Every structure is written in structure tokens, then in C-alpha cells.
């Protein structure tokens, strides 16, 4: 019943990649981000780029195709409206109309009154259209697809915001509704992608697309990892043990643990995100490693006591491996639990999910391994360890025992290299580079980024101080003038227009800023029409324009109630020279200096800021979590080994390979990302398992053997299990390199490399350190065997 219960909930395990899953916990900028969306009635949008094969966007064929695309977009239920060169109002391209008539009619490119040559010129110089819906070379046009707002979700979010302590029912309702919205968004994006396949030269971009494709990659990776890894593990288990019942036993236990763990995750409301999408691989790898140690121990006892009954063999295995297995899983849990202190929501969830998973793996492995093997007949024979395996382990032991004069200097050089690389670690957050070069999403993002004014949104809010009320008595004239001045149309005074101009003109000179829209964009439009963009003209326009035109020209860039003006930017995300955190800090400093003495509040926000906040915590998070893991694992070592010296040795042989990985990242200038930051805690948590099993066996061997014999015996028995498990781990993480998501590929490669280095360290550096620092423990009556 318990298993069926877990199967039911495992089938409902949710996958999430929306903005909430990629933010810092309690990020104050996220609250500002939500306030902007509410105060300025912003809509989610997708950006389509149409790049006709002919290269002429204004040809009859291109315009006809563009019209067909626009018509088909309008039939998609969740599409609210679109903006492109076909429906954008043109005020200077109709020779027969004066400005007042043009404002009344709002002619577009398809209007018979519009001259196409004049229209090209107007589009190229139009401050709202250039670099937004038309590239400078006239070869690419943009289609901005505004998605409908979800009124019910907005209502639920408002209830949550208004409530002092939102009820669990309300939170659950929001979560459930978001999942439904996610499904609807997927249908919408798939419908738009269908147009891309239908019309040549059409590309798609935008934050909703990035989130949707991340979810698709997560689902794909879950299936790929599960199926591919199962097949590979089965082949490796057969290659190592040549016993089918060991293969099926291992896979059966792993499947049971995976289903139970997934059911528990789902029951407690945890979601799978981009970061935790590798939980299947991690759990399978850790579970198989645990079982392999039990199988190797079982085979060892079988060789020593071939006439023993199956139950007695199992009893001996359980007694021998209970302590090292428990402490190995405990250190792994410590590694994952340390992630909950990262302050990064998806990483916190990964830590909780994997802690539940590995504890389940320990419990059910011991229950099922003993119960199933007790019911099966004892194997009639077992295959001995291949000779090349024995030679490899013997050679590693000899190198460690005899070549310390070479090993220690190399280790010192590696340590210095690691220190140098770690000091040069950096973080970056290019969405474009998160996807493979040949992927459709990257091609679309690059085209939009390079030709249509950038990809990643950035927003700047400037809040003006509220004017103090004068309580003195006014004359009738003064009172009338004051009432007039307080009308909305007179809010656009010379100070606000001056500030808008200063900020806008400064930002548009920045190398990494593409499109920028603000109140000053309207000033530029008025200038192009031969009108003076002063406060009186703004007041006239605001008072006399239609609500629809007002919502386009004023509402996105000014909020009278909040006494704010807003600048909407898009940043060239693919620019290789863009250092995002440095750019944001420089922009904030520039604006502060520029407006010094103006008594204004300046805030920089947007998707770029939120994600940058998250990534900038990676270094501090890495230090905090790694420090916690090291201290906790060292404490476990002290408790298990009852030796300060052995605990230091066990820690060193794992920290040195880990340092190499981060040294490489720093030296070759590969930035840390959301997944790379988890490598330290995960690799250390998994890697120390071998040290625990090895030193536990070494302590048993040293009681009855000289030092070198104890080391060689430990290599022969535990060493085989160590490289079995390491190769299984390596193959498991290699499977991640088949992902379409670049951070997952990096994670798989780097974890593979660190696990191989940890194996090498355990097989070579560990015996060298034991020989050098454990000699005082050798009984005086023992002779060293050479």
C-alpha cells in the first residue's frame, strides 16, 4: 500500500521553471518587480523576429507573409495583441494628411494613404519603432506578442499580498492555478512555435519562451537520465559481477527507492526545477554505490566462507557494512543539507529533496537487499576479480607507498594552482549561452538580441518627492491656479522632462544598452514631428489623446499616483564583453552622480537584476555551504575514526581534487552558474564515502597486519568497490552531458572530473599519507612487508 501511495504522488510530481523558481528567497527587488508589474499594468510578451529569405522586409511577398503571421497569431486564445510594422501608427508617411488628421486616423503601413518609401524612413528614425520592431538594415522586423493577463491568478496574488499571513489553502490554490497556467502557456508557445515551422525565417524569443523551454528540457532530461542511466548501470553491473540476479536486485532496489522518494517529494509539495532536474541521476548513482559496497562485501565473505549459509553471509555483510554505510550516507546528507543555507530557493529545494532521497536509499537498500537475497538461493560460484583489476590496485598502492617524494611536490603544486584559480572565480548570467548553438531558442534569441535591440529586460524607476501642501489661505485666483496645477495633465512639468532626457540620453550611449523607451522617447517623437516637447505640449497631448494612444505613449513610462517615471531597456545579452554585475553597479553609480542634489529615488530592476542578485550570492553561498560541509564532515570523521590524524587525512584527500576543479574554472574563465555552485557540496558529500569505507577497512586491517600489508589489503578489497562505484558515478554524470541545457552539461562534466580525481587521490595520495603519518601506530612486533 505504501508503494502504491508513493506511485500515485510520484506521477503528480510538478515541474516548475517560472520566475519564482529562479529568485533569491525574500529578495526585496522581487517585491519591487511585482509592484512595477502592478503599477504599470505590464504584460508578459514574446518577441518574434521575421527575417525573410529575400532580405527585403518591405517587398509585397514579405508583407503578405507578415500579414498572414499576424492574422494567425490573433487566433491564438492567449494572445492579447500584437505590434509590428503593419499595425504601428505612422504620422509622417501620408503626404495628403496633416498632423491633426494623421492623429485622428492613425494610418498604418497597409493604409492606401501611406507612401512606403516615406514609411521606411519613418520606421528607421521613429524613436518607438527603431531597434524595437525594425532592424537598422531593414532586413528583420519584430513582432511583439502581448499575452493576456491571467485575472484570476492576479486576484489570488493580490489576496496573498494583502493577507498578513496567507493561509495554506490560499498558497496551495495559487500553486495549483500556476500549474494550470503553465500548461496553458505551453499550449500558447507551442502554437506560436508551429507558426515558426510553417513560415521560413521566423524566430522566437522572450522570457516566457526561456521559462517554457527550460521546463521542456527538465522533462526531457528526467526521461533521458532515467532510461539511459538504467541501461548503462545494468551493463556496468553485469560487467563487474557477471551475476544477473545482482543486476536485477540493484535495479529493483533503485527503482523502489526512486518511486518512494519522488512520491514523498510530491506529497510534501516540492517541485522539480531546472536545478533539481538531475535528482534522478544523483539518487540512482548514490543508491547504486551503496549497493555495490554491499555486493563486494558479500562476495568477499563468500570467498572466505564458501560453505556458509546465505543468511549467515548476509548477517556478516550487514554487521560489517552497517557503520561505514550509515556514516557514508550521513556525510552525503550533510553535503546536501548544507545547500539549504544557500538562500537560493531552487538550491534549497535540491538540498531537501536529495536529503530525503539518500536517507530513503539507506533504509530501503538494507531492508530489500537483506530480504530479497535471503529468499534467493546462494550463488553456486562467483568470478574472481580480473587480473588487470588486481594489478591496477596493486600498482596504485605501490606508487602511494614508494613515490612520496614525487607525490607531495605534485600535490603542493596542485594546491597552489587551486588557490590561484579560486581567487579568479566569477559568475555570469547570459541566458543566450545557456542553450546549445544549434538550438532553435538560441538562434532566435541571438537574432533578436543583435538586430532588434537586445534580449534581457532592465527597468529604471525614478521617484520624485511629493510636494508639500501649503496650509496658508489662497486668494481665489491662487486657489483656482493650484487646482488647475494639480490636474493629471499638468503633472508632466519641465523638471520631469529634463530628468527623463538626462537619464535617457546617458543610457543610450552605453555599449550594452539596445532598445530604450521612456518619456523622452515621446519627446523625440514630438521633435521629429516639428513640435516643441515642453510641459505644455505634454499636458495638451495627455488631455486630448484617446485612451488607447495614451496607454501606449504615457502609461508605460509614467505613474502619476506614485510620482514616478520609468525607463524600459533591453540589454544585449549575447555581448561577450558584458559583465552584468559590474554593468549594473556602474549604471547605479552613474545615475546617482548624474542626479546628485535632485532629491530623487533611483531604482534599477527587471529580470536582469533579479537573476543577477541570485548569481551574485553564488560565491558567498559557495563559501558558506562548503565551510559548513567541511566542519560537519570533519566532525563525523572524528566520531567515526576516533583519530584526529585520520580525520585530517580523509578530509585532505577529498578537498584537494575539489580545489582542482574550482582552480580550473577560475583559470579558464568558466563562470559559476546555478548548477556549478552545487558541485562542491555534492561531490564532497559523495566523495568522502570512499574515504570512510577505506579507512574503516584500514583500521580493521592494521590491527592484525603491518602498515604496508594493511594498505595493500585495503586496496584489494575496498579499492575494487571504490573504483566500481566511481566508474558508475562517472558514467551517471556523463549521461548529463546529453542535455540540451548548457549548465547541466557543465555540471555533468565537472562532477565526472572531480569524482575521477577523488578516486585517484584515494588510491594514491591516501596510502602515501597513511604511510607518512600513521607509522607511530604500528605495533612494534609487526614486520613491514615490502
Residue 494: strand, helix, or coil? helix
The 10s digit of each residue's pLDDT in 743-762 is 778 888 888 888 888 888 88
8 Å CB contact between 648 and 67: no
Per-residue pLDDT of 195-232, as tens digits, reads: 888 888 888 887 777 777 777 776 676 676 667 777 87
Q: 373: part of which helix (H) or strand (E)?
A: helix 345-375
Compute the distance between CA of residue 365 and CA of residue 329 in angstroms, rounded to an integer: 12
How many angstroms from the chain centroid is the CA of residue 410? 36
CA atoms within 13 A on the CB side of 242: 7
Would you tell me the crossing angle of helices 207-241 and 440-451 to the nearest 10 degrees? 150
pLDDT at res. 165: 57
How far, in Å, CA of 752 to CA of 686, rounded?
Answer: 12
Percent of the chain predicted with pLDDT > 70: 86
Residues 119, 125, 130: CA angle, nearest 5 degrees: 95
pTM above 0.85, yes or no: no
CB 570 within 8 A of CB 514: yes
Which of 439-453, 513-527, 558-572 has the weakest average pLDDT?
439-453
Q: Is the per-residue pLDDT at 591 higher than 90?
A: yes
End-to-end CA distance of the chain: 58
CA 733/CA 683 separation, integer angstroms: 11
Q: What is the pLDDT of residue 583?
A: 92
Alpha carbon distance 703, 610 (integer Å):
58
State the pLDDT at residue 778. Answer: 46
Residues 6+ apart with CB under 8 A from 81: 146
**Residue 165 exposure: Cα atoms within 13 Å on the Cβ side:** 1
Smallest Cα–Cα separation from 741: which of 227, 217, 275, 212? 217
- Residue 377's SS3 state is coil
CA dist 538 and 559 (Å) reads 14
CA distance 233 to 270: 27
Q: For residue 52, count CB atoms less than 10 angstroms from its CB and return exposed for 0-12, middle for 13-18, buried for 19 or more.
A: buried
Whether the CB-CB separation of 202 and 448 falls below 8 Å is answered with: no
Residue 783 clears pLDDT 50, i.e. is over it:
no
Amino acid at each position: 500500500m505504501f508503494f502504491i501511495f508513493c506511485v500515485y504522488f510520484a506521477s503528480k510530481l510538478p515541474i516548475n521553471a517560472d520566475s519564482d523558481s529562479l529568485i533569491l528567497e525574500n529578495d526585496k527587488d522581487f517585491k519591487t518587480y511585482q509592484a512595477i508589474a502592478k503599477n504599470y499594468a505590464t504584460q508578459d510578451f514574446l518577441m518574434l523576429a521575421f527575417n525573410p529569405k529575400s532580405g527585403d522586409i518591405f517587398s509585397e511577398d514579405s508583407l503578405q507573409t507578415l500579414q498572414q503571421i499576424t492574422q494567425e497569431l490573433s487566433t491564438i486564445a492567449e494572445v492579447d495583441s500584437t505590434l509590428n510594422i503593419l499595425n504601428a501608427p505612422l504620422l509622417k508617411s501620408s503626404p495628403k494628411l496633416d498632423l491633426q488628421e494623421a492623429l485622428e486616423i492613425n494610418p498604418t503601413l497597409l493604409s492606401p494613404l501611406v507612401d512606403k518609401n516615406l514609411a521606411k524612413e519613418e520606421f528607421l528614425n521613429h524613436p518607438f519603432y527603431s531597434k524595437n520592431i525594425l532592424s537598422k538594415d531593414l532586413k528583420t522586423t519584430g513582432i511583439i506578442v502581448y499575452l493576456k493577463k491571467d485575472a484570476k491568478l492576479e486576484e489570488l496574488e493580490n489576496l496573498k499580498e494583502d493577507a498578513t499571513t496567507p493561509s495554506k489553502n490560499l498558497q496551495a490554490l495559487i500553486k495549483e492555478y500556476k500549474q494550470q497556467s503553465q500548461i496553458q502557456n505551453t499550449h500558447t508557445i507551442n502554437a506560436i512555435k508551429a507558426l515558426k515551422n510553417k513560415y521560413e525565417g521566423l524566430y522566437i524569443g522572450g522570457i516566457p519562451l526561456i521559462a517554457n523551454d527550460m521546463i521542456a528540457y527538465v522533462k526531457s532530461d528526467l526521461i533521458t537520465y532515467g532510461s539511459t542511466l538504467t541501461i548503462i548501470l545494468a551493463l556496468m553491473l553485469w560487467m563487474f559481477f557477471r551475476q544477473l540476479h545482482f543486476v536485477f536486485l540493484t535495479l529493483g532496489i533503485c527503482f523502489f527507492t526512486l518511486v518512494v522518494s519522488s512520491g514523498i517529494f510530491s506529497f510534501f509539495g516540492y517541485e522539480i526545477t531546472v536545478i533539481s532536474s538531475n535528482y534522478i541521476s544523483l539518487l540512482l548513482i548514490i543508491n547504486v554505490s551503496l549497493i555495490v559496497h554491499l555486493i563486494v562485501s558479500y562476495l568477499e565473505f563468500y570467498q572466505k566462507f564458501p560453505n556458509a549459509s546465505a543468511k549467515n553471509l548476509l548477517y556478516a555483510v550487514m554487521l560489517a557494512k552497517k557503520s561505514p554505510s550509515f556514516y557514508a550516507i550521513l556525510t552525503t546528507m550533510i553535503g546536501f543539507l548544507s545547500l539549504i543555507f544557500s538562500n537560493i530557493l531552487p538550491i534549497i529545494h535540491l538540498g531537501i529533496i536529495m536529503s530525503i532521497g539518500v536517507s530513503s536509499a539507506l533504509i530501503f537498500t538494507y531492508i530489500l537487499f537483506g530480504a530479497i537475497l535471503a529468499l534467493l538461493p546462494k550463488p553456486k560460484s562467483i568470478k574472481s576479480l580480473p587480473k588487470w583489476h588486481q594489478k591496477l590496485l596493486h600498482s596504485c598502492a605501490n606508487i602511494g607507498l614508494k613515490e612520496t617524494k614525487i607525490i607531495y611536490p605534485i600535490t603542493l603544486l596542485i594546491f597552489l594552482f587551486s588557490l590561484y584559480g579560486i581567487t579568479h572565480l566569477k559568475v555570469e548570467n547570459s541566458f543566450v549561452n545557456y542553450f546549445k548553438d544549434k538550438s532553435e531558442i538560441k538562434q532566435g534569441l541571438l537574432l533578436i538580441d543583435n538586430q532588434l535591440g537586445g534580449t534581457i529586460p532592465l527597468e529604471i524607476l525614478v521617484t520624485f518627492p511629493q510636494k508639500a501642501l501649503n496650509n496658508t489661505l489662497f486668494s481665489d485666483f491662487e486657489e483656482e491656479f493650484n487646482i488647475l496645477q494639480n490636474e493629471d495633465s499638468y503633472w508632466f512639468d519641465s523638471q520631469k522632462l529634463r530628468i527623463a532626457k538626462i537619464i535617457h540620453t546617458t543610457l543610450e550611449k552605453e555599449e550594452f544598452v539596445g532598445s530604450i523607451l521612456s518619456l523622452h522617447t515621446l519627446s523625440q517623437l514630438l521633435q521629429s514631428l516639428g513640435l516643441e516637447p515642453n510641459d505644455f505640449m505634454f499636458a495638451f497631448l495627455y488631455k486630448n489623446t484617446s485612451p488607447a494612444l495614451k496607454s501606449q505613449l504615457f502609461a508605460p513610462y509614467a505613474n502619476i499616483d506614485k510620482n514616478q517615471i520609468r525607463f524600459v531597456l533591453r540589454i544585449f545579452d549575447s555581448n561577450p564583453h558584458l559583465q552584468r554585475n559590474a554593468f549594473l553597479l556602474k549604471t547605479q553609480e552613474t545615475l546617482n552622480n548624474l542626479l546628485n542634489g535632485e532629491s530623487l529615488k533611483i531604482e534599477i530592476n527587471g529580470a536582469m537584476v533579479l537573476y543577477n542578485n541570485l548569481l551574485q550570492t553564488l560565491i558567498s553561498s559557495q563559501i558558506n555551504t562548503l565551510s559548513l560541509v567541511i566542519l560537519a564532515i570533519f566532525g563525523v570523521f572524528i566520531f567515526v575514526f576516533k583519530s584526529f590524524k585520520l580525520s585530517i587525512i580523509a578530509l585532505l584527500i577529498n578537498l584537494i581534487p575539489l580545489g582542482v576543479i574550482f582552480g580550473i574554472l577560475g583559470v579558464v574563465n568558466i563562470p559559476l552558474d546555478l548548477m556549478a555552485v552545487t558541485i562542491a557540496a555534492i561531490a564532497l558529500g559523495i566523495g568522502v564515502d570512499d574515504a570512510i569505507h577505506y579507512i574503516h577497512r584500514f583500521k580493521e586491517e592494521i590491527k592484525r597486519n603491518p602498515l604496508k600489508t594493511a594498505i595493500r589489503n585495503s586496496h584489494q578489497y575496498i579499492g575494487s568497490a571504490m573504483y566500481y562505484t566511481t566508474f558508475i558515478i562517472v558514467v551517471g554524470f556523463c549521461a548529463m552531458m546529453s542535455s540540451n541545457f548548457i549548465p547541466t552539461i557543465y555540471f555533468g562534466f565537472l562532477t565526472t572530473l572531480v569524482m575521477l580525481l577523488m578516486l585517484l587521490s584515494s588510491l594514491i595520495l591516501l596510502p602515501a599519507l597513511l604511510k607518512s603519518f600513521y607509522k607511530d601506530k604500528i605495533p612494534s612486533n609487526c614486520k613491514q612487508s615490502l
